[in-house]
Amino acid sequence: MESTRRSFLALFLLVVLGSSIATVEEENSEFWRSQARKTLQAALDRKLNTNVARNILFFLGDGMGLTTLTAARILKGQLENQPGEETVMTMDTFPNVGLAKTYSVDFQVADSAATATAYLCGVKTNLNIVGVNAAGRNGVCRTQKGNEVTSILKWAKDAGKSVGIVTTTRVQHATPAGSYAHSASRTWYCDADMPESAKRDGCTDISFQLINNTDIDVIIGGGRKYMTPTGTKDPEYPTDFFSNGERKDGRDLIKEWQNLKTGKVAHYVWNKADFDAVDPETTDYLMALFEPGDLRYEEERDPSMDPSIVETTEKAIRILQKNPKGFFLLVEGGRIDQAHHAGRASMALHEAVAFDRAIAKGLELTEEHETLTVVMADHSQPLTFNGFPFRGNSILGKSPLWAGDMLPYTTLMYGNGPGHKIVNGTRPDIRNVDTKSKDYIQQAAVPVDTTTHSGEDVAVLARGPMAHLFQGVNEQNYIAHAMGYAACVGADLRHCEGQTAPPLVHTTLKYNKNGAGAVSASAALLGSLLSGLLAITILM
C-alpha cells in the first residue's frame, strides 16, 4: 500500500514537472485540429491505385514488432536533434496498414523460417522449416519430398521479371531462404550442416539450392563460408579459422555460379570497392557476399569495406529495373532481430533506422503508379516501452520513476533475455551506467541466453498498385497471395485479364525540410517439434 502511494505521488510530481515541456504551438488546440484536418483531407482525397504492379519491392524487418517501430521512430528523430515522438518514418507515410497473425501451424510463437514460408510462399508451416508445407517435419528429409512450396520470387521469375534478394544476414538465412529453398531444416546452410541420413535421402543444402533452384539476378548479403570447400581461406580474414570455407563436398559454389552465367555479364564481389565498381547498366547478374557469415551491425560496419543497406538496395534496384517486365526484390533488415536476441536495444533500433532509410531509397528510385511497395515484420520481439518518461527523453534512457526496489530502470526492457541479472535478490544499480551505449544489454524479467520471439500480430504497410488489399487483420500467408494478385504473377491472374492501359492514379510521398514525410493524394510430431526448439536459439 505504501509503495502504491509513493508511486502515485511520484507520478503526480512528474505530471506537474512535465507540464511545461510542450511547445507553444502544441498548447494551442488549433494546432492539433489543423493537423487532423490535413490528415483527414489527405485520406478523403486518396484514390485507389488499381494498376497492375510492374514491380514489387518487399521490405522485411526481421523482429521489427510494433514496439520496435515506435522506438525506432523516436530514435530517428533524436538522432536529428528532435524530441523524436513526432518524427515520421518513411514507412509511416504508407497509406494502407493492416495486421498479420504470425503463429505457425505448430506453435503460438513462430520463427523466421515458418513465417518466411507463410508471407513468401503463401502457405503456413511448422517451426524451423522453410519452403515446405506443414506436412514436413523438422530435420526429417523424407517428409520434405512432395511437400515443397514455391515463393513469389519464383512466381515473378516465371513471369519474366528480374528478381533479387538483399539482406543484412547471410543469404542462406531463414528469410532469404524462404524465397528460393525447400528445406526440412533452416539450419542446413551447407552440406556440412546436414546429417548423413538427409544426404542419403536426397536432400540438398540451402547454399546449393541458392544457385540451382531459381535463376536469381541479384544476391546480396553475407555467407561466403557456406559456398566454398572446407579450409578455403577467406579473402578478408585469411588467418581466421572460423571464417574458412565449410563445404565437405569440395564444391566451390561461387565458381559454379559464375560458370552458370557464361555469356552474361555476371559479377561476384566481396568488398565495397569492387561493389562500387559494378555498373548496373551493364550488369546482368550480381552476387555480393561481404562477410563469411552475417554482415556487421550498422553501428559497427566498416564503410570502407562493406556498403550500407541503403547502398545495396540501390544497386539491386538499378540492376533489376532494366527489365521491361519489371522486378521483384526482397530486402531484409535481418539484424534487427539478432540485436534483439542479444538484448541490445540500441543496436536493434539503429538497424531499424537504417532499414527505414533503405525504404526511402527504394521509393526514390521507383514510381508509385507501377511499383507495389510492402513493408512488414515476420514476427515481434519481447521488447516493452514503459515508465512514464518525459517527452523527448532519450528512447535509450531511464524512466524518471524508480521502481519499488528504489532503483532506476530503462524505458525499454525485455520480457526475457540475457539482461536478467539478479544478485542477492537485487537488480543492478544503473544510475551510473550509460544505457545509450550500443553494447548496453537491457534488463530482462526472465533469464534466457537469447530472447525468444513474441507472438503478437505485426504491422503490414503498403503503397502503390492494389495496396488497399493490405488492410484489416489477416493470416500471414495472405501477403504472398495479395502481392501475386497485384502483379499478376503466380496462379491468380484475374487482375491483369483484359487490362491494357490502367489508369495512373497514385499517392505521392513528399518530404519537408526536416525529412519528415507527409502523404498527399495525386489523382506434426512432438519429438521433431521439440528438436526444432533446440535448434533455433540465436538463429531466429
Residue 28 falls inside a structural domain: yes
Which cell numbers in the block locate residue 477? 500467408
pLDDT of residue 82: 94
Q: Mark whether 164 and 203 lie in a shared domain.
A: yes
pLDDT of residue 23: 73
Q: Mark whether 210 and 293 lie in a shared domain.
A: yes
Residue 107 falls inside a structural domain: yes
In whole angstroms, what separates CA 540 from the centre of its chain?
A: 12
Q: Mark whether 142 and 7 lie in a shared domain.
A: no
- Write phi, then psi, for 532 (nearest 5 degrees): -65, -40
Rounded Cα gap, residues 69 and 392, in angstroms: 17
Residue 182 falls inside a structural domain: yes
pLDDT tens for each residue of the chain, 540 residues long:
555 555 545 554 555 555 445 678 899 999 999 999 999 999 999 999 999 999 999 999 999 999 999 999 999 999 999 999 999 999 999 999 999 999 999 999 999 999 999 999 999 999 999 999 999 999 999 999 999 999 999 999 999 999 999 999 999 999 999 999 999 999 999 999 999 999 999 999 999 999 999 999 999 999 999 999 999 999 999 999 999 999 999 999 999 999 999 999 999 999 999 999 999 999 999 999 999 999 999 999 999 999 999 999 999 999 999 999 999 999 999 999 999 999 999 999 999 999 999 999 999 999 999 999 999 999 999 999 999 999 999 999 999 999 999 999 999 999 999 999 998 889 999 999 999 999 999 999 999 999 999 999 999 999 999 999 999 999 999 999 999 999 999 999 999 986 543 443 333 333 333 333 333 333 334 444 444 444 444 445
pLDDT of residue 61: 98
Judge contact between 394 and 428, C-beta under 8 A. no
Residue 505 falls inside a structural domain: no
pLDDT of residue 10: 53
Using alpha carbons only, how large is the chain's radius of gyration in Å?
24
Q: Mark whether 266 and 343 lie in a shared domain.
A: yes
For residue 22, what are the domain limits?
A: 2-45+386-447
Q: Mark whether 289 and 397 lie in a shared domain.
A: no
Residue 294 falls inside a structural domain: yes
DSSP 58-79: EEEETT--HHHHHHHHHHHHHH
Single out the residue in 398, 415, 447 at which a domain terminates. 447
**Given 7, 20, 34, 112, which residue is catalytic?**
112
Q: Mark whether 260 and 294 lie in a shared domain.
A: yes
Single out the residue in 399, 415, 447 at which a domain terminates. 447
Residue 362: which residues within 8 A CB-CB, separation 6 or more?
57, 59, 313, 317, 329, 331, 373
Q: Tell me the binding residues.
A: 62, 173, 175, 332, 337, 341, 378-379, 453
Q: Mark whether 34 and 102 lie in a shared domain.
A: no
Residue 227 falls inside a structural domain: yes
Q: Mark whether 329 and 246 lie in a shared domain.
A: yes
Known catalytic membership, residue 112: yes
Residue 456 falls inside a structural domain: no
Q: Tell me the binding residues for Zn(2+).
A: 62, 337, 341, 378-379, 453
- Give the number of domains in the chain: 2
Q: Mark whether 299 and 218 lie in a shared domain.
A: yes
Q: Tell me the binding residues for Mg(2+).
A: 62, 173, 175, 332
Rounded Cα gap, residues 351 and 442, in angstroms: 16
Judge contact between 494 and 469, C-beta under 8 A. no
Residue 378 falls inside a structural domain: no
Q: Mark whether 427 and 289 lie in a shared domain.
A: no
pLDDT of residue 527: 42
Q: Mark whether 394 and 427 lie in a shared domain.
A: yes
pLDDT of residue 507: 36
CATH code, domain carrying 188: 3.40.720.10
In whole angstroms, what separates CA 227 from the centre of its chain?
A: 24
In whole angstroms, what separates CA 377 from the centre of its chain?
A: 6
Which cell numbers in the block locate residue 391? 517527452
Judge contact between 170 and 189, C-beta under 8 A. yes
Q: Mark whether 20 and 114 lie in a shared domain.
A: no
